[in-house]
Chain A
Amino acid sequence: MGKSSTEALLICEHCDTVHRRQVLVRGDVARCVRCDAELERYHALSVNVMLALILTAMIVFIQANVWPIVTLGLSGQQSSTTLWGMILAMWREHAQIVSVLVAATLFFFPLMKMLLLGWLLWYARSGRRAPGFVRLMVLLHHLGPWTMSEVFVLGALVAIVKAHTYFDVTPDPGIYAYAALTLLITIFAGVDLRELWDDAPEAVA
């Protein structure tokens, strides 16, 4: 099939240049000689570590969604909200498109991403492909750019500063959960999930 020869190759997604795959050691980043885009990066996270991080992210995600994010006070009255409070408020206020955008990018897509990764990594621990591996990996690829929790953290900060001029602002646990979630997302940002294709051998199922 000539499989071994194509596996030794790496094609730059950004300019179509063909490279011979190099063995990377800690700290290495392989870059394209033509356009300088990143080809591959060494990462030290084992499957177990990644799974642990995903489980942590799930717990933090639940907290970030259940706990209120921030409380405002105005002459004795209090008002607080959660993520779903935001989504419902936008729907009520006739900004349904925004409501759907917020629900998708801050709730459904991040949740799907974590569940998918958890599922795939759980099986990858024992070197197996999870049921539905191929379809789920493709779905994971397409979800990639549409999760925006880290943008929301910055948005919440801006909203707090804006509200601070007129109201008493008390941060609630939800905002800390979101901060922790952002940290986890940042750790994961360096991981190339395509390696899961190589980790698990094909055609076992």
Chain B
Amino acid sequence: MSAMPRARELGLIACTVCGQVCRNVPGDERLDGDGVRDAMACPRCGSTLRRRKPDSYARCWALLIAAFIMYIPANVLPIMRTASLHDVDDNTIISGVVELWRAGSPNLAIIVFAASIVVPVLKFLALGTLLVTSRRGTDWARVQRAKLYRLVELVGYWSMLDVFVVALLTALVRFSVLSLVEPLPGVIFFGLTVVLTMLASMSFDPRLIWDGKERDD
């Protein structure tokens, strides 16, 4: 046994909902996660106990791919229409950032750029990398990969920023013929992208990073 024993080796399971440490029959593969229901319930909170999140690879890939499909129209289609007496102006996520930069607030433009562009792209790349490397069981940069996952979890929901901006402007800017703001389909796709990437990162089990080959350390 290594100096840092893992729950699986000791025949223990941590409840993912309440953190309770539970004993189980060592080697009972029914508890490994995939395709099991109600094999064993946490004595404290009643949630189903599993050594790993169920079908983590399949679920995470499916949600991530769905999110990516939604992300394309989210960026290509305009998210917001600004109509005034003279012209009609459709904004995409990118053009909104550029406009904010020009309007004299580069700092905010950087924040919006980070939340709307960098964070979703980071999620796609990070979760994709984690899925591939964990499946291969490599011991490459495990600590860094674990930190990457925690970063994705931490910043994920900030992408909703642009959705809230469009919602607030839509409700505010209604001066009949003078000036109007309307949401356009892009914002719906973007909202769905954010929700799907959040679900994807939740369905990934970071313990998989450490499964695979064990190096002597």
Q: List chain A positions with a Cβ less than 8 A from chain B.
A: 2, 6-7, 9-11, 13-18, 33-37, 69-70, 72, 74-75, 77, 79-81, 85-90, 93-95, 97-99, 101-102, 105-106, 134, 137-138, 141-142, 145-146, 148, 151-152, 154-159, 161-167, 194, 197, 202
Task: Determine if B108 is an interface residue (Cβ-Cβ < 8 Å).
Answer: yes
Contact between B195 and A101 (Cβ–Cβ < 8 Å)?
yes
Between A and B, 24 residue pairs with Cβ closer than 8 Å are A7-B21, A11-B14, A15-B210, A16-B7, A16-B8, A17-B6, A35-B143, A35-B210, A72-B172, A72-B173, A77-B178, A79-B172, A86-B170, A90-B170, A94-B183, A95-B183, A102-B163, A102-B164, A142-B17, A145-B156, A154-B161, A158-B108, A166-B84, A202-B44
Contact between A98 and B191 (Cβ–Cβ < 8 Å)?
yes
Contact between B14 and A13 (Cβ–Cβ < 8 Å)?
yes
Q: With the chains together, A48 CA to B7 CA distance in Å? A: 35
Task: Determine if B98 is an interface residue (Cβ-Cβ < 8 Å).
Answer: no
Instruction: Given the known inter-chain contacts A18-B12, A79-B175, A98-B188, please indicate yes or no for A141 contacting B7, CB distance below 8 A.
Output: no
Task: Determine if B45 is an interface residue (Cβ-Cβ < 8 Å).
Answer: yes
Instruction: Given the known inter-chain contacts A14-B150, A72-B172, A105-B160, please indicate yes or no for A162 contacting B165, CB distance below 8 A.
Output: yes
Instruction: Given the known inter-chain contacts A6-B23, A9-B12, A35-B210, please indicate yes or no for A151 contacting B161, CB distance below 8 A.
Output: yes
Q: Name the residue of chain A whose CB is nearest to the CB of B46.
A: A134
Selected from B149, B162, B163, B187, the residue in CB contact (under 8 A) with A14 is: B149
Main secondary structure of the interface of B (DSSP, over half): helix
Selected from A13, A97, A165, the residue in CB contact (under 8 A) with B16 is: A13
Contact between B103 and A162 (Cβ–Cβ < 8 Å)?
yes
Task: Determine if B121 is an interface residue (Cβ-Cβ < 8 Å).
Answer: no
Known A-B contacts: A101-B191, A163-B172. Give 11 more (CB < 8 A): A14-B146, A18-B6, A18-B7, A88-B171, A94-B183, A105-B160, A155-B168, A158-B112, A159-B168, A162-B165, A166-B179
Contact between B165 and A159 (Cβ–Cβ < 8 Å)?
yes
Task: Determine if B198 is an interface residue (Cβ-Cβ < 8 Å).
Answer: yes
Contact between B149 and A162 (Cβ–Cβ < 8 Å)?
no
Task: Determine if B61 is an interface residue (Cβ-Cβ < 8 Å).
Answer: no
Q: List chain B positions with a Cβ less than 8 A from chain A.
A: 4-8, 10, 12-14, 16-23, 44-47, 51, 84, 96, 99-100, 103, 105, 108, 111-112, 115, 142-143, 146-147, 149-150, 153, 156-158, 160-175, 178-179, 182-183, 187-188, 191-192, 195, 198, 202, 206-207, 209-210
Q: Cβ of A152: which chain B residues have Cβ within 8 Å of it?
A: 164
Contact between B171 and A34 (Cβ–Cβ < 8 Å)?
no
Q: With the chains together, A102 CA to B160 CA distance in Å? A: 9
Smallest distance from the beta carbon of B216 to chain A beta carbons, Å? 14
Q: With the chains together, A102 CA to B187 CA distance in Å? A: 12
Smallest distance from the beta carbon of B186 to chain A beta carbons, Å? 10
Contact between B18 and A141 (Cβ–Cβ < 8 Å)?
yes
Smallest distance from the beta carbon of A94 to chain B beta carbons, Å? 8
Q: Which of A14, A80, A156 is packed against the most chain B CB atoms within 10 Å?
A: A14
Contact between A77 and B163 (Cβ–Cβ < 8 Å)?
no
Contact between B47 and A138 (Cβ–Cβ < 8 Å)?
yes
